Amino acid sequence: MIKKLTCLTFSFGCLFAFAQEEQENQNKGILNIGVESNSQWYIDDNKISISEKDAIERFRSNSYIKADYFIDKWEFGVQVESYSPMALLNYSPELEKTDIGTIYARYNNTEIGLDATAGHFYEQFGSGLILRSWEDRQLGINNSIFGGRIGYEFVKGAKVTVLGGKQRIGMGFDLSESFISGANVEVNISEISNMENMDLNVGASFVGRYENLQDEYPELDKMTNMYSFRADASKGNFYAGAEYVYKSKDAIVEGTGGVQTIFEDKQYDGNALLINFGYSQRGLGIDVNLRRMENIGMFSERSLSGNTFNTGVVNYVPALTKQYDFALQNIYVYQVASSTSFYPLLKPGEIGGQFDLYYQFKRNSVIGGKYGTYLSVNGSFWNSLGYNDDLNIEEKQVSSGFFDFGRKYYNDLAVEVRKKHSDKWQSIFSVMGQYYNQKYIEDASGELKTYITAAEVIYKFGDAQSIRVIGQHLWADGDKKNWASGTLEYVPSLKWSFYIQDLYNYGNDKEESRVHFYNVGGAFTKGATRIGMSYGRQRGGMICVGGVCRWVPESSGLTLNISTNF
């Protein structure tokens, strides 16, 4: 029924838009269409093979076609997704066949400040710590909400948004059993009160989940609510911001072997505090982020809590570490569990911070040289919250003092220097040290220290030709031990590029696991179109985008990526 209604709304909308365009020919509509297709043909070799379960389909493909039409104050869009014959390895099994992914109609009148959407929509309140719906195709995330949203700007600088709907947890019309409602207020105080020399923004949000499981779990409330309060200010070269989020009590959900179990007798509330401040001027930037969070994870169905595919996530709780550029820097990536759990290990929450420093050695100085030298330094430390050893369930409180630190999860420190030496030469050099508590981050065993160095040199010649060489090394005192890596990229023209890369786990204690993860590939780019093809081995592990990760198994084979828009 819902499907039919949406389609009907959509078709009337499109017709209406078309009719309107006929009338006012000078106001032409805009049609944007995007196509993306990522395919893989998994071919086992003597070292790498995929599991028997995965091998039932060796050619897999994820494809997306999206069309949006903008006319006057109206906007209509649809995305069709195809996972055929099957989705790429380790995407959610709910993503299958060909169907509508998202469909919507929107009226956006900036003159009167009204913005209304029906259908699937993406939304973020504040930093997303209370609500973020977004799409990331690499991670297989599309947690758009299907329902309605209205935003109204009652004066310039003050906006209210209310929304409600069911979250997408599979293909476009596979929706969660719960109902999500939300409200958000953003006020730019400096704009309203004409503050000249200071910028001040404040915001507050509410997000509620209605999920009735009382037939099976009579102790569980139907409503679970979250509240957020935040403020950001900047004056001159200084800036600072803070956000506090509270979540009402909710059952602990433990997952083992892909099965999530709800414990209605263990209910805790949650909270998060995020603080950011910094200073920046031309040639210098300093930024500090601090976060404490306890049991703040929210999923549109309780039984989805902590699932490995990020299905049904309502809020965005990324690991706050730097997203590094080089391959070996991305083997041991910090991830964070947003909800408290007791099994197999007690994880009461997280506390810690990170900093960044950017500095430019001026042009024509000793270190700066002709073009300047750019230095960046970053570091992070993350621990578990301090916790009560004599934990008493009746107290409904896992952590001890609010700012107490517990077990160390992760820390890193990295220095990177970028320099252009001449018209032809430029280089990047990076060193990094890291502590990684594998037992707690991956629910595996052990802990390790690593040191990573990486150097990249680009040599330009001719009109638009270049060669890029990257060398990397990782020393680790545990797990798979040492890695070395080399990459060579050749760009013969603006349209073509070719590369060859090898990641070699030469230090592995198990001789049969000393595998070369090699890849050869090329890409053709013209205008908005890009076609990339590669053959080789994919290292098993985490693929992370924006602090959210997806696990992929080891595999080898042929990859084809096509994207275009018009």
- Which residues inside 394-453 make contact with another protein, applying CB under 8 A? 418, 420, 426, 428
Q: Which element (helix H / strand E) includes 3?
A: helix 2-23
Which residues have a Cβ under 8 Å from the Cβ of 20 and sit 6 or more positions away? Answer: 71, 72, 74
Query: Least Å distance between CB 278 and another protein?
Result: 6
Q: How far apart are the first and last CA of the chain?
A: 33
Instruction: State how far the Cα of 292 lies from the Cα of 405, in Å rounded to an integer.
Output: 10
Per-residue interface string for the shown chain with another protein, residues 50-79, x marking contact by CB under 8 A: ---------------xxxxxx--x-x--x-
For another protein, give the closer residue by CB, 100 or 162.
100
Which residues have a Cβ under 8 Å from the Cβ of 242 and sit 6 or more positions away? Answer: 230, 231, 273, 274, 275, 276
**Ranges within 361-390 binding another protein (CB under 8 A):** 371-372, 374, 376
Query: Which among 170, 148, 173, 160 is positioned nearest to 91, based on CA atoms?
Result: 170
Residue from 19, 24, 33, 345 touching another protein (CB under 8 A): that is: 33
Query: Least Å distance between CB 28 and another protein?
Result: 6
Instruction: State how far the Cα of 72 lies from the Cα of 270, in Å rounded to an integer.
Output: 44
Residue from 369, 507, 547, 553 touching another protein (CB under 8 A): that is: 547
Q: Is 114 in the site for another protein (CB under 8 A)?
A: no
- Whether the CA torsion 305, 308, 310, 311 is positive or negative: it is negative
Query: Count residues contacting another protein (CB under 8 A)?
Result: 103
Instruction: State how far the Cα of 144 lies from the Cα of 534, in Å rounded to an integer.
Output: 32
Q: How would DSSP label each residue in 430-487?
A: EEEEEEE-HHHHHSSS--EEEEEEEEEEEEEETTTEEEEEEEEEEEESSTT--EEEEE
Instruction: State how far the Cα of 205 lies from the Cα of 202, in Å rounded to an integer.
Output: 11
For another protein, give the closer residue by CB, 214 or 493.
493
**Ranges within 488-527 binding another protein (CB under 8 A):** 491, 494, 497, 523, 525, 527
**Ranges within 173-192 binding another protein (CB under 8 A):** 188, 190
Q: Is 193 in the site for another protein (CB under 8 A)?
A: no
Residue from 9, 21, 522, 535 touching another protein (CB under 8 A): that is: 21
Segment interacting with another protein, rule: CB under 8 A, options 51-59, 132-140, 254-262, 444-452: 132-140
Per-residue interface string for the shown chain with another protein, residues 324-343, x marking contact by CB under 8 A: xx------------------
For another protein, give the closer residue by CB, 48 or 130.
130
425 neighbors 459 (Cβ within 8 angstroms): yes
Instruction: State how far the Cα of 386 lies from the Cα of 124, in Å rounded to an integer.
Output: 31
Query: Least Å distance between CB 93 and another protein?
Result: 22
Residue from 9, 34, 39, 507 touching another protein (CB under 8 A): that is: 34
Q: Is 323 in the site for another protein (CB under 8 A)?
A: yes
Q: Is 110 in the site for another protein (CB under 8 A)?
A: yes
CB burial of residue 545 (10 Å; 0-12, 13-18, 19+): middle
Residue from 90, 546, 554, 558 touching another protein (CB under 8 A): that is: 546
**Ranges within 247-286 binding another protein (CB under 8 A):** 276, 278-286
For another protein, give the closer residue by CB, 65 or 552.
65
Segment interacting with another protein, rule: CB under 8 A, options 84-92, 176-184, 351-359, 394-402: 351-359
| Secondary structure letter of residue 539 according to DSSP | P
Query: Least Å distance between CB 283 and another protein?
Result: 6
| Unique residue bearing structure tokens 């009907």 | 8
For another protein, give the closer residue by CB, 78 or 213.
78
Instruction: State how far the Cα of 470 lies from the Cα of 501, in Å rounded to an integer.
Output: 9
Instruction: State how far the Cα of 479 lies from the Cα of 514, in Å rounded to an integer.
Output: 13
